[in-house]
Amino acid sequence: MESIRCSNCNKLLFKVEFMAMHGRIEIKCGRCGLYNDVRSAEIQSKANRDATNEPG
């Protein structure tokens, strides 16, 4: 699962399974009020980076 955090205050906004989300989500942070845009391509690229950085 990928943790999606606020780009301003780093509060956890939600968790999502890889490839479970398509398109774009706009979510407002409950702590600082910033609207965060999350796109499925960002989650996919983050998961790919994490997979290549795993020790093994």
Judge whether residue 16 has pLDDT over 60. yes
How much of the chain, in percent, has pLDDT values that exceed 90? 43
User: Which residues fall within 8 angstroms of residue 52, CB to CB, at 6 or more apart?
Assistant: none
What pLDDT, in 10s, does the model give residues 43-55?
Answer: 656 655 655 665 5
Q: Select the more confidently predicted residue: 37 or 52.
A: 37
- Tell the burial category of 38 from Cβ atoms under 10 Å away from its Cβ (0-12, 13-18, 19+): buried
Whether the model clears a pTM of 0.75, i.e. scores above it, the answer is no
Calculate the average pLDDT of the chain: 80
Structure tokens at 51: 């997979």
Cβ atoms of residues 30 and 11 within 8 Å = yes
Distance CA 34, CA 51 (A): 29
Comparison of pLDDT for 54 and 1, the residue scoring more: 1
